[in-house]
Structure 1
Amino acid sequence: MRAASLVSALLLSCSPLVLATSAAAQTAAAPGARLTVDSIFGPRAVREQWVRESRWGEDGESYLALEDAPKGGQDIVRYRIRDGQRTILVPATALVPKGARTPLSIDGYSWSPDHRLLLIQTNSQRFRRTRALADYWLYDMAAGSLRKIGGTAAASTLLYASFSPDSRRIAYVMRNNLYVEPVAGGAPVQLTRDGDDYVVNGLADWVYEEEFSLRRAFEWSPDSKRIAFWRFDTRGVGTFFMIKNTGGQYSQPVPLQYPKAGTTNSAVTVGTVDVADGRTSWFKLEGDPRQNYVPQMSWAGGSDAVFLQQANRLQNTFKVLLGDPLTGTVQPVLTERDAAWVEANAAPEWLQGGRSFTWLSERDGWRHLYTVDRATGRATLRTPGAFDVIELLKIDEKLGYAWFIAAPDNPTQRYLYRTTLSGAPRVERLTPAGQPGTHSYDIAPGARWALHTVSRFDAPPVTDMLDLTRHVPLRTLVTNQPLATRIADTGIAPTEFFRVDIGGGTQLDGWLIRPANFDPARRYPILFYVYGEPWGQTVADRWQGSQGLWHRMLAQSGYIVASIDPRGTATPRGHDWRKSIYRQVGILASADYAAAVRKLLETRPYIDPARIGIWGWSGGGAMTQNALFRYPELYKTGIAVAGPSDMRLYDTIYQERYMGLPEENRDGYKNGSPITFADRLQGNLLLIHGTGDDNVHYQNTEQLADRLIRANKQFSMMAYPDRTHGIYEGENTTLHLYTLMTRYLETNLPPGPR
């Protein structure tokens, strides 16, 4: 139930440095021109500029980039950072398969560790949220030869192909089994043999991919002799059927093993397989494999042990274990516990020759970086202070530093910090003072250079190559000047960031966009943009993309547009803030929102109490429903996009993490689900959902619609055929969606002052 967004993403692999933009991006709006849905989402919209996929060279002084070749395909090019000297490493003309006329289209690529071989992903097809099903071709730099990996496999049937550390083999998943293939040639070797429609090896099931971000579920050992992998047995998991109706004369059922809250999970086991003889050793983990999770597994700084995180089903106890890859025995290192829930860590960085590792924990009330002794489990705090480590970016033991993102003084912004890895902790801010906004960094090996992007709510992203030692730009790569000009031409005043006191010592962050030609003596309708779930944050001083432009378009039409982050949202305000929502998702946040709206009505007389609207997507769709149903006297109009109406219809990992088990929190599940209060609807409600949504199923909207009909409540509804959770597939879908929402607001929440 992650927040869906139409914000344009920076397509960063490691350090992308080649400008990409739409053909219409140079067409800036004329001064004073009004924003329209078509000018934001249509074919001639002014698009956001970003930088194309590329990556740092291992020397830390160069980067590799993909560039369109003159006669088709893409060249792989190296640039020297200091002076921009350009060298073509692999020309597109070298990547033409025998018998073909055109080069391979590069969807992704990786170098062998010895840099002799190039593995190219091409012909990628959709698999769940990504285009992971693909063909892979191996290019030998010295010989100039090119051959397809996978033997006689059908097109686009391989997933997540990756080199062994010794550059001698390639591992991949095909038909739910693990394979290895010699780079020197020869037939693929099948390592697992029980993969079928229900048993999956080396590949995550749906819920692990969605909630733990686990896709490739295997890892080579550093000595290239074994592969650690997950095995998912989905038998017993409920099958949800989506129906595809746009594909022909008859509908097509689309089955998906999807564990809904309180139901059976996959049986998950983890082990290692010997690539020489195919023998597997399974780790001897305690507990029922259907009632525990293994969200992360990696090699423990060498080939002698595997690092595992095991969580109970409630996800309030995480065991950190070291597993013997030969015997499967495990030994505990440390245990994290919380009265609410514990977040999984990414794979740690290993220090002191494998004797210690990095770890993020909220054990002192803030999310901090620790180093943990492997032998004793003793944790040493490296980032002391009343702030959260938002993201750990880089560890460099040779230089003695860890770089991270934090926002000690303003949870709506993001800045770069670093701390020492040994001795007394010394935390310092690297982003210079006087540069407010949201800063992101991709740091090169050696930490001499970084790709730096900064944006603000009213300022689109600017990306430069940064001399990180002085935090001085070497050159600017992206300015997004056409978008900056468009914002300046709207006539909209700068967005106001504020805090609203809802009593009891609780202050909520918010932002507010005033209408053009704002007159404080008159009253305006207000539209709140909401998420309110523990996964996301809406009140952030960063560029909001095309959705932010749409909000400004509404302001030009005479709306106040605002957003507030209630308690429990994923803002860097400490453990207690985030965990306050436990077992009361949908309850506390909607109450906070209502209290904040009432406070704004008291203190801002220019808000028209008769014209209060709210809208949101995914978890924000549920919050919109809760707002209209629970506080019908307050909200007059709502638009709920892809919202889960009943918590029991969402997946186990997400819903149980924040709400506990349904059988242990029946009242919470009932009272947090908006469908429970559907009969209280008084205002205008528009429900929007994609019928092919594999995340928040269309079932949610149909069950809510059924309940509203039984209560004789009038509402509007739009189903987007076979569209998924993002509702973007197909020609003009996004344009149609925002046109629909705009017209609905104009009809049911009339714009302009009174």
Structure 2
Amino acid sequence: MKILRILSLFCFLSTSFLTAQNKQITLEEIWSGTFRTEGLDALHSMANGQQYSVLNFDRTKGGTTIDIYDYKTLEKVNTLVSSADLKAIKYFTDYTFSADESQVLLATEEESIFRRSSLGVYYVYNTKTKQTTLVSEDKIQEPTFSPDGTKIAFGLNNNLYVKDLVSGKITQFTFDGVKNKVINGITDWVYEEEFAFVRAFDWNADSNKIAFIRFDETDVPEFSMDVYGKDLYQTQTVFKYPKAGEKNAVVSLHLFDLKSNKLSEVKVDKSYDDFYIPRIKWTNDADVLSAQFMNRHQNQLDLWMINAKKNKATLAVAETDKAYVDVTDNLTFLEDDSFIWTSEKDGYNHIYHYDSKGKLINQITKGNWEVTTYYGYDAKTDQIFYQSVENGSINRDVYSVKLNGTQKRRLTQQTGTNNADFSADFTYFINTYSSATTPYLYTLNDAKSGQVLKSIKDNSALIAGLKDYKLSKKEFSTISINGNDLNMWMIKPANFDASKTYPLFMYQYSGPGSQQVANKWNSANDYWYQMLAQQGYIVACVDGRGTGLKGADFKKVTQNELGKFEIEDQIAAAKLLGSKSYIDSSRIGIWGWSYGGFMSSNALFKGNDVFKMAIAVAPVTSWRFYDSIYTERYMTTPQENASGYDDNSPINHVDKLKGDFLLIHGTGDDNVHVQNTMRMVEALVQANKQFEWMIYPDKNHGIYGGNTRLHLYTKMTNFINRTLGDKL
């Protein structure tokens, strides 16, 4: 009953603050952390299944600790590591346990390279002796314990090394790494960004072999960015960036045998020459490596099983698709080396079970809904745990199901977004729940029944603080556009009067497989939308064709024509919303970032009779300027599909501009290069079109740091008020 009262209290509080006081949200509050939520940082389930660890940061003292908590009581059992006790370390920013948890790898002095990659100084802390050992005098990448905990492999200056933690000896085992030429074991820029991983090496189960991918970037064209900094002369960042249709890095798969100190190359009998290796992973058999190979068009993904002793490769699974095959991290080997695999081959993303040779045993989940996360398999109970949108495409729930596909059980009951972190033995899971009306609620749940056992964190301080503000409800619905029921949310002013008319400001992202209409707690942008609603705007978001979690056909309809159907849907949605009596159809605006900036630009140009204004932040203005892996996945190459690239790129439609246009970019954007904006500016100038633009020196794709976000959102707010808010 106590748990029911806690949840009832949340329902009451989450609705009561919607009609509370009249305090106005400010941009300074949004970007100073006033609305920050509490969470559990770097959560790790201990191997005993009864405890978990969390990284805690003391903001007053500046130190960090790894604290151990008991699942049953949620009480802190002990502090495993405290930076206050370590002479060499002022604080650490992340940690990784060895397999037996007797050692902890502590990350310090981390500096970002690109979106996911970083350099850092790393120490090994021995939990028994309380001693720390510096891994390397240099800043290194991706240090990783061997399974037996006696060694650490890492990347340094494009080569790979192994440190013996017993003797302290460091062995270099690749020697041809050169910046902008050859990389061993660490991904190149485009793999990191589009295949979402950095560590391209893996230990086998016996800790005596390392598999790694080698990237030969020699023939990949270089891209350079000026770095203005604070010195008298600017410097340059130069890196290899394969744009659509250009040469990629030549990748190859290699093995290093620690016993013989020998390197060897692994080849598979594939049917294509231009290819990617998006994943490698050792099976439980120390001599068998799995490797995924994919053709350049990305519509064929092959899973190979490679016997390292015999140097023999066998094709286990071959996935094909008329559009593209998604790469995931869901491949999981069970004790008998049968494996879990996820696929969209029946039209929706589901879980499959194959034997060790690649023969399908059964499809575990089925239905007109998507599996969104695979959590793992518990051999004791023979259960798979996963997250899906079976309870509506804007919601997420946690489920369990037997390996044979029977006895499916929904483990979470609160409608919204649920995400689980399971204990190592699958006895418990910590559920993170939120919705549009409830901030993040962390609870301890029983993995068998899903029952909530205890509340861990409830963000009650934030709830109490929000009661002082005049907030509006985020209304979810569907809108019928071009033969499809599209998910939509809308935020109206709290004092909305249907007899009045309001300007409409639309937001979207629209990229393939994405989702912006989701029943989850506020991001910083949501508070901005609330602020705009307080000022008298209606704000809306529509997920059009090409977005995710409604089946493969809905997602892949945009294939070869990015920006065609998505723009048609946004224009049609704006027209339909503009026909509402309470919306002023002469004052409709749209904005977006990255792919969303590509979209908002096109919406203003192609929908010049519908949209009065648009803001495009860090937009792609021509797909010819963007990287090979992402762009070719959906468009093939420019050489094969020139019209697909050009017909829907906003740079080719600047002559249609009639409304007000604000273009924003960071000069240090390694992802969507500022080249996109510079070429757009030149096209607009030559078309004699007036517009506004803002450049942020040295800022990357996220455009942040210091007061940058505050300045950015102030500029956008002022632009909205000047172009749409003239009658407010």
TM-score, structure 1 as length reference = 0.90
Task: Check conservation: 1:524, 1:751, Cα contact below 8 A.
Answer: no
Match of 2:708 among 730, 733, 737: 733
Match of 1:554 among 522, 526, 532: 532
Distance across 2 between alignment mates of 1:44 and 1:358: 41
Asked if residue 427 in structure 1 is aligned to residue 408 in structure 2, the reply is yes
Task: Check conservation: 2:410, 2:450, Cα contact below 8 A.
Answer: no
Distance across 1 between alignment mates of 2:326 and 2:104: 36
3-state SS of paired residue (2:440): strand
Task: Check conservation: 1:94, 1:144, Cα contact below 8 A.
Answer: no
Q: Out of 698-707 and 483-492, give the one that drifted further.
A: 483-492
Q: Kindly report which structure 2 residues correspond to 1:169-180, keeping only aligned pairs within 5 A, or say none.
A: 169-180=151-162
How far does residue 545 in structure 1 lie from its aligned partner after superposition?
1.5
Task: Check conservation: 2:42, 2:55, Cα contact below 8 A.
Answer: yes
Q: What amino acid is aligned across from residue 337 of structure 1 in structure 2? A: T
CA deviations over 1:477-507 (Å, ceiling 9, x no partner):
3322344345544434422111111243x11
Task: Check conservation: 2:116, 2:198, Cα contact below 8 A.
Answer: no
Match of 2:303 among 320, 329, 339: 320
Q: Which residue of the partner structure matches residue 6 of structure 1?
A: none
Asked if residue 331 in structure 1 is aligned to residue 311 in structure 2, the reply is no
Aligned length: 708
Match of 2:559 among 575, 582, 597: 582
Q: Which residue of the partner structure matches residue 218 of structure 2?
A: 235
Check 1:204–1:242 CA distance in 2 against 1; reply closer, same or farther (3 A cut): same
Q: Which residue of the partner structure matches residue 345 of structure 1?
A: 328
TM-score, structure 2 as length reference = 0.94
Q: Kindly report which structure 2 residues correspond to 1:61-460, keeping only aligned pairs within 5 A, or say none.
A: 61-68=50-57, 73-83=63-73, 84-97=75-88, 103-130=89-116, 132-150=118-136, 153-154=137-138, 157-197=139-179, 198-286=181-269, 291-346=274-329, 348-354=331-337, 356-422=338-404, 425-432=406-413, 435-460=414-439
Distance across 1 between alignment mates of 2:456 and 2:527: 23
Asked if residue 491 in structure 1 is aligned to residue 457 in structure 2, the reply is no
Asked if residue 623 in structure 1 is aligned to residue 599 in structure 2, the reply is yes
3-state SS of paired residue (1:242): strand
Distance across 2 between alignment mates of 1:409 and 1:118: 40
Q: Which residue of the partner structure matches residue 52 of structure 1?
A: 41
Distance across 2 between alignment mates of 1:387 and 1:672: 30
3-state SS of paired residue (1:509): strand
Q: What amino acid is aligned across from residue 88 of structure 1 in structure 2? A: T
Q: Which residue of the partner structure matches residue 481 of structure 2?
A: 502
Over the matched positions of the two proteins, sequence identity in percent amounts to: 35
Q: What amino acid is aligned across from residue 248 of structure 2 in structure 1? A: N
Task: Check conservation: 1:397, 1:421, Cα contact below 8 A.
Answer: no
Task: Check conservation: 1:72, 1:92, Cα contact below 8 A.
Answer: no
How far does residue 131 in structure 1 lie from its aligned partner after superposition?
6.1
How far does residue 516 in structure 1 lie from its aligned partner after superposition?
2.7
Distance across 1 between alignment mates of 2:605 and 2:283: 51
Task: Check conservation: 1:492, 1:514, Cα contact below 8 A.
Answer: no
CA deviations over 1:439-495 (Å, ceiling 9, x no partner):
111111222221111111233222222333443433323322344345544434422
Distance across 2 between alignment mates of 1:439 and 1:143: 40
Q: Out of 122-131 and 696-705, give the one that drifted further.
A: 122-131
Distance across 2 between alignment mates of 1:44 and 1:92: 25
Asked if residue 649 in structure 1 is aligned to residue 649 in structure 2, the reply is no
Task: Check conservation: 1:621, 1:641, Cα contact below 8 A.
Answer: yes
3-state SS of paired residue (2:604): helix
3-state SS of paired residue (2:443): strand
Check 1:44–1:383 CA distance in 2 against 1; reply closer, same or farther (3 A cut): closer
Asked if residue 744 in structure 1 is aligned to residue 722 in structure 2, the reply is no
Task: Check conservation: 1:678, 1:707, Cα contact below 8 A.
Answer: yes
Q: What amino acid is aligned across from residue 524 of structure 2 in structure 1? A: S
Q: Which residue of the partner structure matches residue 595 of structure 1?
A: 572
Check 1:140–1:517 CA distance in 2 against 1; reply closer, same or farther (3 A cut): closer
Distance across 2 between alignment mates of 1:143 and 1:397: 34
Distance across 2 between alignment mates of 1:282 and 1:272: 6
Match of 2:28 among 14, 38, 45: 38
Q: Which residue of the partner structure matches residue 6 of structure 2?
A: none
3-state SS of paired residue (2:653): helix
Distance across 2 between alignment mates of 1:681 and 1:290: 44
3-state SS of paired residue (2:694): strand
Return 5+ residue gaps in structure 2 as ranges.
1-17
3-state SS of paired residue (1:277): coil
Distance across 1 between alignment mates of 2:724 and 2:689: 19
Distance across 2 between alignment mates of 1:93 and 1:485: 34
Check 1:330–1:122 CA distance in 2 against 1; reply closer, same or farther (3 A cut): same
3-state SS of paired residue (1:675): helix
Distance across 1 between alignment mates of 2:330 and 2:452: 31
Distance across 2 between alignment mates of 1:179 and 1:496: 54
Q: Which residue of the partner structure matches residue 7 of structure 2?
A: none
Check 1:488–1:289 CA distance in 2 against 1; reply closer, same or farther (3 A cut): farther
Q: Which residue of the partner structure matches residue 499 of structure 2?
A: 521
3-state SS of paired residue (1:129): coil
Q: Which residue of the partner structure matches residue 25 of structure 1?
A: none
Q: Out of 47-56 and 385-394, give the one that drifted further.
A: 47-56
CA deviations over 1:57-108 (Å, ceiling 9, x no partner):
11111112334579763333322221215223334354223xxxxx442222
Check 1:459–1:141 CA distance in 2 against 1; reply closer, same or farther (3 A cut): closer
Check 1:146–1:407 CA distance in 2 against 1; reply closer, same or farther (3 A cut): closer
CA deviations over 1:160-198 (Å, ceiling 9, x no partner):
111111222111111111101111133310111111111
RMSD of the alignment, in Å? 2.1
Task: Check conservation: 1:29, 1:489, Cα contact below 8 A.
Answer: no
Return 5+ residue gaps in structure 1 as ranges.
1-27, 98-102
Distance across 2 between alignment mates of 1:483 and 1:290: 55
Task: Check conservation: 2:23, 2:470, Cα contact below 8 A.
Answer: no
Distance across 1 between alignment mates of 2:94 and 2:557: 41
How far does residue 301 in structure 1 lie from its aligned partner after superposition?
2.3
CA deviations over 1:713-742 (Å, ceiling 9, x no partner):
00000000100000012x111111111110
Task: Check conservation: 2:122, 2:135, Cα contact below 8 A.
Answer: yes
Asked if residue 531 in structure 1 is aligned to residue 509 in structure 2, the reply is yes
Distance across 2 between alignment mates of 1:287 and 1:721: 45
How far does residue 304 in structure 1 lie from its aligned partner after superposition?
1.8
Q: What amino acid is aligned across from residue 224 of structure 1 in structure 2? A: S
Check 1:145–1:390 CA distance in 2 against 1; reply closer, same or farther (3 A cut): closer
CA deviations over 1:262-284 (Å, ceiling 9, x no partner):
10000011121112333122121
Distance across 2 between alignment mates of 1:340 and 1:714: 39
Match of 2:657 among 677, 681, 685: 681
